[in-house]
Amino acid sequence: MFSGMPIAFALGVVALGFMILFMPASSVGTIAQNFYEELSNVIILALPLFILKGAAIGRSNAGKDLYSALHAWLYRIPGGLGIANTVACALFAAMAGSSPATCSAIGSAGIPEMRARGYSGGFANGIIAAGGTLGILLPPSVTMLLYAVAAEVSLGRLFLAGIGPGVLLVVLFASYSMLRYNKEKRIARAEAEVSGARSALLAEEHYTLGEKIRMIAWVAPFVTILAGVMIVLYAGWASPSETAGVGAVLAFLVIGLMYRLWRPSKIGPIVAGTLRESTMLLMIIGMSLIYSYVMSYLNISQSTATWIIGLGLSKWVLLAAILVFVVMLGFFLPPVSIILMTAPIILPPLKAAGFDLIWFGVVMTIVMEMGLIHPPVGLNIFVIKNIAPDLKLSEIMWGTFPFVLLIALAVVIVCLVPGIVTWLPDATMN
């Protein structure tokens, strides 16, 4: 991977090399068959459909409209603009299922508005970058879908398990937004008293009830898509793959009617983008499963798991060591690669230690959120940099740092109170 080879082919080359050197020659002839059989999993069919739904919503002005509607209702709350951004990121992430798409859609409207109203550039960019990380946690999450495949756990339970921690992160981000707003407002008032220059942060706004209702009515169809997808899935009316198809069709209908994105010239880029992203992920999945098969055949996974268990670590020390390992991988790899590369090694010891793999999947996802907003990879940081090119990269990074700490705090809270993760799936699915 450090040579620049794409992740999928890096996994495939290593797997093929070990097959040739240490496995029967006939195993090489089964690569194509194994690759196809792994990708023919019906759950994986949901992957390109969820991506298609997210791409369709992301190409519209839904993010900007959603942000505007929330701001109109929350502007009177201290830090309401930051809270509106956080909630908008959460809702858009749940609709689109993509972290970069959430940053781009909400950030393109939210960041200029926050800066125009006197918020510091670092804070404005940091809250959007952090809010975008919710795209891999809140359902329907592509990252969680891949974890469900790798860990062989219920996708429905995993989706439900992500809602509680998602709400927790929204509350933490919103609380920080209020504290940060009050601090910046005090500084602005002090400067106004000294210099006489009045900051835009001190300006007053007003929206009529009619304006608020019209804004909410305009974005209601998108929230209906989200609610409809969840109801169809958890009512048992459709499988995850069928639900993803329903969501994609509804998304196309809504953007076609509301934003007139129905011409082939508008639909073409959506489909092309979906094909590129889906092909990339499916190649990584297929190659990673061959990689896992080789590790299992050569007894690497089992031996590593036995060695870890043999260390006699307490279950919480074991969990902490694995999460630190995931954090380190987050410096270099995206969440999809971390899951598919590490699952064969870290899941057996955790299961043997008595951890619920659905609970761990959520905790691991929260930890991987940190990797999206800290360098050197920090995908969301570079998305934000494209939105606000006048800001220094270092300023954006320092703006995201408090949110890295808040995500770490959320991990601690979820470990101390596991019911935040497990209560909803247990109550809903018995």
Tens-place pLDDT, residues 62-112: 777 887 888 788 777 877 778 888 888 888 887 777 777 788 778 877 788
pLDDT on residue 198: 60
The CA distance from 321 to 55, in Å, is 36
Provide the 8-state DSSP code for 263: S
The CA distance from 430 to 422, in Å, is 11
pLDDT on residue 171: 93
pLDDT at 118 over 80: no
Structure tokens at 342: 């590490």
How many CB atoms within 10 Å of residue 329? 20
Q: Which of 144, 135, 153 has the alpha carbon at shortest distance from 338?
A: 144
Query: Largest Cα–Cα distance in the chain?
Result: 81
Fill in the amino acid letter for 21.
L
How many CB atoms within 10 Å of residue 430? 5
Q: What stretches of 298-392 show up as alpha helix (H) in DSSP?
A: 300-310, 315-329, 335-352, 357-371, 379-387
Fill in the amino acid letter for 164.
G
How many CB atoms within 10 Å of residue 131? 31
- What are the distances in angstroms from CA 331 to CA 154, 159, 370, 410? 29, 26, 9, 19
pLDDT at 204 over 70: no
The CA distance from 319 to 313, in Å, is 9
Res. 201 pLDDT band, cuts 50 70 90: low
For residues 10-33, one letter each, b for 16 or more C-beta atoms within 10 angstroms of the residue's C-beta and e for the rest, the string is: bbbebbbebbeeeeeeebeeebee
Q: What is the mean pLDDT of residues 124-135?
A: 86
Query: Angle at CA 213, nearest 5°, toward 209 and 217?
Result: 175
Q: Which of 383, 382, 364, 399 has the alpha carbon at shortest distance from 136?
A: 364
DSSP string, 159-214: HHHTHHHHHHHHHHHHHHHHHHHHHHHHHHHHHHHHH-PPPGGG------HHHHHH
Contact 344, 290 (CB under 8 A): no
Provide the 8-state DSSP code for 41: -
Q: Which distant-in-sequence residues (6+ apart) come within 8 Å of 110 by Cβ?
A: 67, 81, 84, 85, 88, 124, 128
Q: What is the mean pLDDT of residues 180-187?
A: 80
pLDDT on residue 377: 66
The CA distance from 372 to 378, in Å, is 4
pLDDT at 211 over 90: no
The CA distance from 282 to 120, in Å, is 40
Contact 300, 292 (CB under 8 A): no
pLDDT at 41 over 80: no
The CA distance from 168 to 214, in Å, is 29
pLDDT at 359 over 90: yes
Tokens 């999947």 locate to 361
Most confident of 14-23, 185-194, 206-215, 307-316: 14-23
Virtual torsion, Cα 130, 132, 135, 137, nearest 10 deg: 10
The CA distance from 383 to 355, in Å, is 35
Q: Give me the percent of the chain exceeding a pLDDT of 90.
A: 12
The CA distance from 120 to 181, in Å, is 10
Res. 299 pLDDT band, cuts 50 70 90: confident
pLDDT at 282 over 90: no
Tokens 């939105």 locate to 387
Helices (H), strands (E): how many in the chain?
20, 0
Helix H or strand E encompassing 410: helix 393-416
Which residue has better confidence, 86 or 199? 86
Mean pLDDT of all residues belonging to the chain: 82
pLDDT in tens, 152-182: 888 888 988 999 999 999 999 999 988 888 8
